[in-house]
A and B are shown apart, each in its own frame.
Chain A
Amino acid sequence: MANRTVQFEIKRQASPDGPAVWERFELEWRPGMNVISAMMEIAANPVTADGRPTTPITYDSNCLEEICGSCAMRINGKARMACSSLVDNLEQPIRLEPLSKFPLVRDLQVDRSVLFKNLMRVKAWVPVDGTYDLGSGPRVYPQQQEVNYPLSNCISCTCCMEVCPQFNEQTGFVGAATIAQVRLFNNHPTGKVLKEDRLRALAGDGGIQECGYAQNCVKACPKQIPLTNAIADVGRDVIGQKVKDWLRG
């Protein structure tokens, strides 16, 4: 019996302004194989299904445990993490494409630094006084921790931004991940001292009002973060802040 194989179709693009081409690969099937191990196999033997030598695939990856957020890409049309995409659960040929909403670098690698800029814009941090020993932190009850912890699990993979119809150049929308971080830091006993700054940062163009409630984000999130709840909560607070600012003149 012939060895079982796995078929891949991978979208290649050598540079941001180069042409995109599809390459087909046929690899030997192995138990437990995921999309990353397939690309590792291609790197060790860079030959297409029709026997042409090619280059190893360029893609982002690091932890391979779905916690670093690096390896997001479109797999059979769906934005997801390559490491946790097991070959046995995917329809073949498995089609790999880069995320489409971010500047392409090469092959499956894109530039997602916009998310980190957004996090800076909303001051997604707790403004501690300093790192010297100032005693213990504020009391946080388990009920509160259980709200914050899931929000803090965001791995910055940007899947929620990729699938959002409103996340594009026209709107300049910050996207669900950033809004969820605003919810997180506004809920922290010390973090909330910057609450007004954060809400104002989300009040203008590209802010929370761009959300069209498509709810794609919450379905795409590999960490099951309650993104739509966070958007609803923060949306209410942004309106409250606007009213307050208007009354204050």
Chain B
Amino acid sequence: MATPRIIVVGGGLAGLAAVIKIAEAGGSVDLFSIVPVKRSHSVCAQGGINAAKNLKGEGDTTWQHFDDTIYGGDFLANQTPVKAMCEAAPAIIDLLDRMGVPFNRTPEGLLDFRRFGGTLYNRTAFAGATTGQQLLYALDEQVRRYEAEGKVKKYEGWEFLSAIIDSKGVARGITALDLRSMELRAFAADAIILATGGIGAIFGKSTNSVVCTGSAQSAVFQQGVYYANGEFIQVHPTSIPGEDKLRLMSESARGEGGRVWVPRKAGDNRPAKQIPESERFYFLEEWYPKYGNLVPRDVATRAIHKVVYELGLGLDGQAMVYLDLTHIDRETLDRKLGGILEIYEKFVGVDPHVEPMKIFPGMHYTMGGLWVDFDQMTSVPGIFAAGECEYQYHGANRLGANSLVSCIFGGFHAGPNAMQYAKSLPAVEGDGGAAAELARQAEINKKLMNNEGSENPFRLWRELGQTMTEHATVIRQNKGLEKADAKIVELLDRFKRVNLSDKSQWANTSFAFARQLKNMLELSRTITQGAILRDESRGAHYKPDYPERNDEKFLKTTKASFTGTCEGPRFEYEDVDTQYITPRARRYDAAK
């Protein structure tokens, strides 16, 4: 039979990992990305990548990594795929090392490892504080090599709009928009892999990149793909608040010894250096003596929230706490954390070697995403998903440095599975629905371009971000969530009156953004409503009215499907695979 033709959407770690596997197996790949793939959001990952290689004589094992991940995710993740990921991780690190990633080294020339949150082992390999950038570049280089051999064709500057689905419900390709010429086109494929990353833009400001809107996920969700565990949103404890975004301050800062504190006395506005040890409140170390500053992210985030809003101890009365590295010598800091300290100094104008950084939690990651089976295929045959855009590896809370490994593992898994699937796919009948889908998209575009009204999409977006950040992040109350959901309905209505200030047919960013915004609005209801329905607290999902985890009722995957009605998505629940580790209480004030 002919060479399988696979479309990969997204050129971050997961997408590139899939491309490499397909090209290596002799498939032909069309790779679509909004930005040149080397500029994908994976570059923002800082601290490192987890693999239990046990190079520090601590007795670390892949089982320990598996247990930490499941425990850290509060038992919501299906255990079979997580176990497979943890077992594959050491070989993934070796491969990346062979590809030339400049990982930090021990004096003997071996890989160095550091500690990250939610574990007691030094399990995180790292390349300075720009590990994601270095990993992405390594995969980008391998893909460029396949591109030179003609096995990969890149469509950079194209945005995915929808899947083409035939009369039997099988995916046969995609429609995409050229962001320069604004040309709309259909592309045929035997299978498609979505590796379209996070959804940070739904929260307005987040640590995510500009392209992380979740628009592609939402588009296929609206075409019938299940969306799972949408309510689980990770708020990273340490970000730098900014006017345009929240910049991440890596967990590696704490992994290398960074300490989080506030002055014990409210209103103590002496410079940090003049506050003696005894008058500093190292609240993570006091509350969680075993893990200290390296408790998992949801735990650290809630602790900071409590210190600021309940105890009123925020710095200068503001929503900020110290992350202090000043006790560590400059040479060590530069060698291990150089990149991120430079970023802090550049954007804040203060040298973190000398003065403690001021940080606050910021929306960072979605544990939820497209529902996939253990072969990374969604509920629509022929549509696969890998990376942050799917839900599979992190349960109710992701551990630091597990995202890079899950992206690469997911991509490595999705690629060959898509090939396998494509090989046994019955031939397409007619055009497989391409003309009809193209016409549907052309109609949406025409309507949006000619729409009359007074709403500005960028302003609607700000309102969405504000309501989602207020009601659907660290602390969740059903009343607030209902308010947010109603606000989304209002915004969906106002979207009908969006008037683009730019009506041109060339590199029209308002047009592209407005299409993304519509998809953000549709997807955000899986978050608000999923959270309303889950009356318990688990991992990153915390409801003070339901402070306990409720396994009897909610040890279940949330599955949302699109209805197109104003009530919002339909929800159903699926049992979690817990065949290896029996769920137990999750606590970090003592060893587990």
Residues of A within 8 A of B (CB): 14-15, 30-34, 36-37, 40, 43-46, 53-56, 58, 60-70, 83-84, 86, 105-107, 109, 112-113, 116, 119-120, 123-128, 130-131, 133-142, 145-146, 148-149, 152-153, 155-156, 185, 188, 190-191
Chosen A-B contacts, 16 in total, with CB atoms closer than 8 Å, are A15-B506, A32-B242, A37-B244, A43-B510, A56-B458, A60-B35, A86-B347, A123-B145, A124-B144, A126-B100, A141-B109, A145-B103, A149-B102, A152-B127, A185-B100, A190-B100
A136: chain B residues within 8 A (beta carbon): 94, 97-98, 111
Residue of B nearest to A46 (CB): B501
| Cβ-defined contact, B506 with A106, below 8 A | yes
Interface string of B93-123 (1 = CB under 8 A from A): 0110111101111111111000000000000
| Cβ-defined contact, B98 with A126, below 8 A | yes
Interface residues of B in 142-167 (CB under 8 A from A): 142, 144-145, 147-148, 156
> Would you call B339 an interface residue if the criterion is a C-beta within 8 Å of the partner chain's C-beta atoms?
yes
Cα of A226 to Cα of B509 in the assembled complex, Å:
36
Cα of A15 to Cα of B180 in the assembled complex, Å:
10
Q: How far is the CB of B180 from chain A (nearest CB, A)?
A: 6
Of the 9-residue stretches B38-46, B295-303, B371-379, B563-571, which lies at the interface with chain A? B38-46
Also in contact, A58 and B507, with CB within 8 A (given A36-B244, A84-B347, A140-B105): yes
Cα of A46 to Cα of B513 in the assembled complex, Å:
15
Interface residues of B in 446-463 (CB under 8 A from A): 456, 458-459, 462
Q: How far is the CB of B17 from chain A (nearest CB, A)?
A: 9
Residue of B nearest to A60 (CB): B35
Cα of A140 to Cα of B143 in the assembled complex, Å:
24
Q: How far is the CB of B414 from chain A (nearest CB, A)?
A: 14
Also in contact, A68 and B130, with CB within 8 A (given A34-B244, A44-B458): no
Also in contact, A188 and B100, with CB within 8 A (given A65-B248, A70-B39): yes
Cα of A185 to Cα of B39 in the assembled complex, Å:
20
> Would you call B286 an interface residue if the criterion is a C-beta within 8 Å of the partner chain's C-beta atoms?
no
A66: chain B residues within 8 A (beta carbon): 343, 346
Cα of A56 to Cα of B509 in the assembled complex, Å:
8
Also in contact, A45 and B20, with CB within 8 A (given A63-B44, A185-B100): no
- Most chain B Cβ neighbours within 10 Å, of A61, A63, A105, A133: A63
Interface size range of chain B in the complex: 35 or more
| Cβ-defined contact, A30 with B127, below 8 A | no
Q: How far is the CB of B125 from chain A (nearest CB, A)?
A: 11
B433: chain A residues within 8 A (beta carbon): none
Q: How far is the CB of B552 from chain A (nearest CB, A)?
A: 41
Also in contact, A64 and B180, with CB within 8 A (given A145-B104, A149-B128): no
| Cβ-defined contact, B509 with A120, below 8 A | no
Also in contact, A148 and B95, with CB within 8 A (given A34-B243, A139-B109, A141-B109): no
Cα of A153 to Cα of B38 in the assembled complex, Å:
12
Q: How far is the CB of A223 from chain B (nearest CB, A)?
A: 9
Residue of A nearest to B127 (CB): A149
Also in contact, A106 and B130, with CB within 8 A (given A33-B243, A67-B44): no
B244: chain A residues within 8 A (beta carbon): 34, 36-37, 40, 64, 83
Cα of A30 to Cα of B347 in the assembled complex, Å:
14
> Would you call B268 an interface residue if the criterion is a C-beta within 8 Å of the partner chain's C-beta atoms?
no
A113: chain B residues within 8 A (beta carbon): 36, 156
B91: chain A residues within 8 A (beta carbon): 133
Also in contact, A105 and B180, with CB within 8 A (given A65-B343, A67-B43): yes
B94: chain A residues within 8 A (beta carbon): 133-137
| Cβ-defined contact, A63 with B41, below 8 A | yes
Q: Which of A54, A62, A191 contacts B209 (CB 8 A)?
A: A62
Residue of B nearest to A143 (CB): B105
